[in-house]
Structure 1
Amino acid sequence: MKVIQAFRQADKSWKYRQEKEVLKNPLVLVFGNRFLLEDKKVLEDIRNEFPYEHIVFGSTSGEIICCNVFENSITVTAIEFEKSSFVVEAESIFKYEKNAEQLGEDLHKKIPKENLKHLFVLSEGSFVNGSALINGLESNSELKTSMTGGMCGDDARFEKTLASYKDDPKEGEVVLIGFYGDTLEISYASYGGWMPFGPERIITKSNANILYEIDQKPALDLYKNYLGDKASQLPQASLFYPLNVTPEGKLKPVVRTILGIDDVNKSVILAGDVPMNSVVQLMMASVDGIVSGARKAAKFAMKDRENQPQLALLVSCVGRKLVMGQRVEEEIEQVQEIVGKDIAICGFYSYGEMAPFNGETACDLHNQTMTLTLISE
């Protein structure tokens, strides 16, 4: 595997992390600020600098390359597989009237299954219900292919997100990358570091990812009451206080971030499903807790590997970035310390992370986690 990485901040020239060279049919991952990805001149510059066919674009809430976290930048990671291969497919949520589960099912059908080793999802983050998308992608229970991924970001604006394969970045796109080959070793992990606080309550009315009532009281009113003066800053303020949700009959909770609010219905829209009768608590975090969580995620991902990874693909939540502030690179440094300083690291800050619970196979949607996908061949 050969990996060439470069980045450019707005109005600046490209900087390479390795010596620039021409690759053979690489997979090119482009993560960047949404405004830059809407700029035709920037896109032309990317295509001139990386004149390859298989380019995947995604907007972010912060770009990760090596142990640096950038804003208002473009990062590019071009991966040439020497012994294995990949296939990329994409669909638009608008073709499915925002039915993410059906989109996921149809998108999975387009991916060849022979020798399929792993799936990576890059989804727009504004319209797609991540839980429903995963359900669709995993609807064929006969296939036990592992899957990780993330939902694109838009800093903390929550206005719109962009993604695409080959085409210029656009709203509503979901991209699925299939990795193939017996020589591939892919491991993954996800961990948060946030702590629940306050009383446990019960979700008494919800529909998919829309939360209407907690303990038979309007969810938005209850949440605003907790936030106090910060309620006027919703939905951005919710990134500091996500929800810890334990569905009925489940032992492990998932974290849910609020993506939007509805003042008319007094409801909140979350990144993934919040089933009725789930136990719910508010959460909060410290910088040290988040950094420790990133280190634990890296240790889980490295635990049973036979070979040293060559590429670490990181998806971390925008909420973690906001809490850490100027210390945000500390969580990337912790990952690098565990996975190895010579490994290519790339990724982005997201509106949702996709990965199995540690030690499991079935994928789940997470918020407020550091999620790693480690690849070698």
Structure 2
Amino acid sequence: MRIVQAFKKENQSWKYTKSKVQLVNPLVLVFGNRMLLENEKFIKEVRAEFPYEHIVFGSTSGEIVDSMVLDESIVVTAIEFEKSSFKVKTANILDFNKNAQLLGESLYNTMAKDGLKHLFVISEGTFVNGSSLIKGIERGIHDKTLISGGLCGDDAKFEKTLASYKENPKQGEVVLIGFYGESLEISVASFGGWITFGPERLITKSNANVLYEIDGLPALELYKKYLGEKANQLPQASLLYPLNVTEHDKEHAVVRTILGINEEENSMTLAGDVPVNSKVQLMMTSVDGLSQGAFNAAKLANANRIKKPELALLVSCVGRKLVMNQRVEEEIEEVKNVIGNEVTITGFYSYGELAPYSGKSSCELHNQTMTLTLISE
């Protein structure tokens, strides 16, 4: 595996973290600020610097490169696989009447299955139901092919997100990257670092990822009581106080953050499903708690590997970034302390993370976690 990596801010020159060399048919991952991805001049600069065919774009709530967390930048990581290969498929949620499950099924059906080792998702993040997307992708999977990835971000604006493959970034795109080859070793882990507080309540009315009632009371009204003065900062304020959701037939809880609110219906739209009869509880954290969570995620991802990772794809939540603020790079440093300085690190801050629980093969949508995908040939 050969990797070239660089980052750039507007009106500044490229800065390389990995030496600039010519690669053969690389997978090029471009994670960047949404406003820059909408700038055609800037995209032309990216294409000129990395004149390759297989370019994948995704907007972010912060860009990760090496041990740095950047804002208002573009991070490009070009990966040449020497013993293995990749395929990229894409579809737009707007062509599926915003039905993420149908889109997921369609995307997976177009992906070649022979030798498929892993699937990595870079998805639109403002109106795709991440839980439904995973259900659709997994519907056709009969082996233990793992899925990881994330929902694109837009800082803390929640206005729109962008993604694409080959084309210029646009709204509604979901990109699925398949990795192939016996020589590949890919491990995944996800961990949060949040703790629950307050009473445990019951979801009494919901529809997929829209939450209407908790304990028979309007969900938004109840949530605002907990937020107090911060209620007028919704949905951004919800990133500091996510919900811990335990479905009645599941062993593990998932964390859910709020993507939008509907004042008329007194409802909240979350990044993933919140089924009726699920138990729900508020959560909170600290900078040290999140740093420890990142450390735990790295330990889990690195634990049973045969080879040392060469590439680390990190997807962390925008809520973590807001809590950690100026100390946000501490969670990247914790990851680096575990996986080593020689590993190329890239990734982004997201509106949702995709990964299975430790020891499981089925994928889940997570919020407020650090998720790692470690790759070597």
TM norm. shorter chain > 0.5? yes
- How far does residue 109 in structure 1 lie from its aligned partner after superposition? 0.4
Q: Distance in 2 between matches of 1:114 and 1:257?
A: 36
The 5 A counterparts of 1:98-113 are: 98-113=98-113
> What is the deviation of 1:134?
0.1
SS in 1 for 2:153: coil
Residue 86 of structure 1 aligns to a residue whose secondary structure is strand
Q: Distance in 1 between matches of 2:316 and 2:118?
A: 20
Contact residue 109 and residue 140 of structure 2 kept, 8 A: no
> In 2, Cα distance between the equivalents of 1:310 and 1:94?
36
User: For residue 251 of structure 2, what is the aligned residue in structure 1?
Assistant: 251
Q: Can you list the C-alpha shifts for 1:224-275, whole angstroms capped at 9, x where unaligned? A: 0000000000000000000000001212100000000000000000000000
Which range moved further: 136-145 or 69-78? 136-145
Q: Distance in 2 between matches of 1:142 and 1:353?
A: 23
Task: Tell me what 1:159 maps to.
Answer: 159
1:209 alignment counterpart:
209
| SS state at 1:203 partner | strand
Matched letter for residue 232 of structure 1: N
User: Matches of 1:251 and 1:50 in 2, distance apart?
Assistant: 45
1:117 maps to 2:114: no
Letter in 1 for 2:86: F
Give deviations 1:271-327, integer Å, cap 9, x for gaps. Answer: 000000000000011000000000000000011000000000000000000000000
- Counterpart Cα distance in 1 of 2:144 and 2:300: 20
Q: C-alpha separation between the residues in 2 aligned to 1:125 and 1:141?
A: 23
In structure 1, the residue matched to 2:150 is 150
**Residues in 2 aligned to 1:9 and 1:291: alpha-carbon distance in whole angstroms:** 27
Question: Residue 18 of structure 2 aligns to a residue in which SS?
Answer: coil
- RMSD (Å) for aligned C-alpha atoms: 0.5
Q: TM-score, normalised by structure 1?
A: 1.00
Query: What's 2:223 paired with?
Result: 223
Q: What secondary structure is seen at the aligned counterpart in 1 of 2:292?
A: helix
Tell me the distance in 1 between the aligned counterparts of 2:357 and 2:19: 37
Name the counterpart of 1:39.
39
Counterpart residue number, 1:24: 24
After TM superposition, what 4+ stretches of structure 1 lie above 2 angstroms from structure 2? none
Aligned match of 2:307: 307
CA distance in 2, matches of 1:42, 1:89: 24
Superposed CA offset, 1:310-363 (max 9, x none)? 000000000000000000000000000000111100000000000000111100
Query: Equivalent residue for 2:316?
Result: 316
Deviations 1:140-185 (A, max 9, x none): 2423211101000000000000000000000000000000000000
Asked if 1 retains the 8 angstrom alpha-carbon contact of 2:101 and 2:132, the reply is: yes
CA distance in 1, matches of 2:253, 2:191: 12
Deviation of residue 371 (structure 1)? 0.1
Question: Which residue does the alignment assign to 1:362?
Answer: 362
Q: Tell me the number of residue pairs that the alignment of Structure 1 and Structure 2 aligns.
A: 377
Structure 2 residue 197 is the aligned partner of structure 1 residue 183: no
Note if 1:296 corresponds to 2:288: no
> Within 2, Cα distance between the matches of 1:256 and 1:289?
18
- 1:66 match: 66
SS in 2 for 1:187: strand
* Residue of structure 2 in register with 1:94 after alignment: 94
Of 11-20 and 306-315, more deviation after overlay is shown by 11-20
Q: Distance in 2 between matches of 1:52 and 1:77?
A: 12
Counterparts of 1:97 and 1:137 in 2: how far apart (Å)?
Answer: 17
In structure 2, C-alpha distance between the alignment counterparts of 1:142 and 1:329, rounded to whole Å: 38
Superposed CA deviations along residues 55-109 of structure 1, whole A, max 9, x for unmatched, are 0000000000000000000000000000000000000000000000000000000
Q: 1:166/1:141 Cα in 2 relative to 1: closer, same or farther (>3 Å)?
A: closer
**Distance across 2 between alignment mates of 1:213 and 1:127:** 21
Q: 1:329 to 1:201 in 2, by over 3 A?
A: same
Q: Which runs of 5+ in 1 are unaligned?
A: none
* Whole-angstrom distance in 1 between the partners of 2:210 and 2:297: 29
Would the aligned equivalents of 2:317 and 2:350 in 1 still touch at CA under 8 Å? yes
Contact persistence 2:58–2:164 (CA under 8 A):
yes
Measure the CA separation in 2 of the matches of 1:137 and 1:131. 10
2:211–2:270 Cα contact (<8 Å) kept:
yes
**Range 4-13 or range 128-137, more displaced:** 4-13
CA distance in 1, matches of 2:137, 2:313: 20
Q: Could you tell me the TM-score, scaled by structure 2's length?
A: 1.00
Residue 273 of structure 1 is matched in structure 2 by 273
Q: Which amino acid aligns with 1:273?
A: D
Partner of 2:260: 260
- Percent identity, aligned pairs only, is 66
Deviation larger for 14-23 or 150-159 = 14-23
My pick for the range that moved more, 136-145 or 11-20, is: 136-145
- How does 1:320-339 map onto structure 2 within 5 Å? 320-339=320-339
Letter in 2 for 1:274: V
Unaligned runs of 5+ in 2: none
Q: How does 1:66-85 map to 2 (within 5 A)?
A: 66-85=66-85
Residue of structure 2 equivalent to 1:232: 232
